[in-house]
Structure 1
Amino acid sequence: MSVLLTQAQQQELLDITRRWIDAAENIHARTFPLPEVRFDLNGQAAGQYRGGAHPRIRYNPRMAASQFEAYCQRTPAHEVAHYIIDRLHSGRRVRPHGPQWRELMRAFGLEPERCHQYDLQNVPRRRQRRFAYRCACQEHRLSTTRHNRVQYRGMKYRCIKCGEVLRSASDD
């Protein structure tokens, strides 16, 4: 059975998102426009921020609907903090949960925790296939995403132990 996020709940999440942006404006004494907000995220992520020319915050409607109060207390602030840090440090690489993000979360009066503690029992899991890769010291299991990056984009991954570039086990 799928739990749906109502229009009223979506509006409440939008309002909460705007309030966290207002809080950030007070903290940093500057304005931040409301980014696009979507309710289309699937899987086990509670929320997601995507920067760039068209910044957007995505919320997981199934997770939000099933644990609405807890979700509202934590997830919007977490994603807004990503948005604000991205706007403040535009053009510079800043770690997603780095010191700037943690400082803003504390300024919001929240503990800077990366991961949520929501009940995931009714949330469907997507499983990626794993591909065997080798280096000088061991076998590695790369996800479909990383495997495709190697195959189609020429990316290279290195073993953190021996430093050798990983090669597909099927090439041996």
Structure 2
Amino acid sequence: MPSSRHLDSQLQQALEQRVETCFQALETALERSFSRPSIEFSQRGKAAGSAYLTSNRLRFHPVLYKDNQQAFLQEVVPHEVCHLVCHQVYGKVRPHGPEWRALMAQVFGLNPKATHSFDVSKVIGKTFEYQCTCGPVSLTLRRHNKVLSGVRYQCRRCGDVLTQISAQIAR
């Protein structure tokens, strides 16, 4: 039985076809052609997808895609494709700047949001509990390891330096 990280070929083909449809819509709107990216299903963490501008590559999160197929195809795919097209048209611009927002709204009729609102409880990794004046804060394993190497994090609300509550790993 395949792991939850692997997609069956139908789901892969549906996403690849959506990428193509998005490119065609952008080519029609902008009256020019764009090179097609390589597509990977290897995104991890809480991000639904990533666009690698200089290597013309898209990565998508297989678990989040499986759990949110319709919204993923409708929102995430155009979001990432717009990043690649912005780079090809405008060069280096802010990731969710006015150029990207205009493409999302005008070509796809979508609200140009920078983040998704999918349930990430299945894909979130181990966390470590820290404390500040205003209460407990969970840090990811990556940030916890940075604390161990000397990095100090401050609470975004109160500004206090976070201190570890215990060495126990929470889930």
Q: Structure 1 length as normaliser, TM-score?
A: 0.72
Identity, % of aligned pairs?
31
Q: Secondary structure at the match of 1:2?
A: coil
Q: What are the Cα deviations for residues 23-82 of structure 1, in whole angstroms up to 9, with x where unaligned?
A: 000110000121111111111000000011x21011001110111112111110000010
Structure 1 residues 37-116: aligned runs within 5 Å:
37-52=39-54, 54-90=55-91, 93-107=92-106, 108-116=108-116
Separation in 2 of the partners of 1:42 and 1:133?
Answer: 23
Q: Structure 2 length as normaliser, TM-score?
A: 0.72
Separation in 2 of the partners of 1:140 and 1:83?
Answer: 38
Following superposition, the deviation at residue 133 of structure 1 comes to 7.6
**1:132 alignment counterpart:** 152
**Gapped runs of 5+ residues in structure 2?**
127-139, 163-171
For the aligned residues, what is the CA RMSD? 2.0
Q: What are the Cα deviations for residues 104-162 of structure 1, in whole angstroms up to 9, with x where unaligned?
A: 0011111101110111121132622231289xxx8767xxxxxxxxxxxxxxxxxxxxx
Separation in 2 of the partners of 1:2 and 1:133?
Answer: 33
**2:165 alignment counterpart:** none
How many pairs were matched up?
Answer: 135
**Gapped runs of 5+ residues in structure 1?**
142-172
Separation in 2 of the partners of 1:70 and 1:78?
Answer: 11
- Change in Cα spacing, 1:73 to 1:133, as seen in structure 2 (3 Å) is closer
Tell me if structure 2 keeps the 8 A contact 1:4–1:65: no
- Change in Cα spacing, 1:6 to 1:99, as seen in structure 2 (3 Å) is same
Task: Give the strand-richer structure, 1 or 2.
Answer: 2
Separation in 2 of the partners of 1:124 and 1:132?
Answer: 22
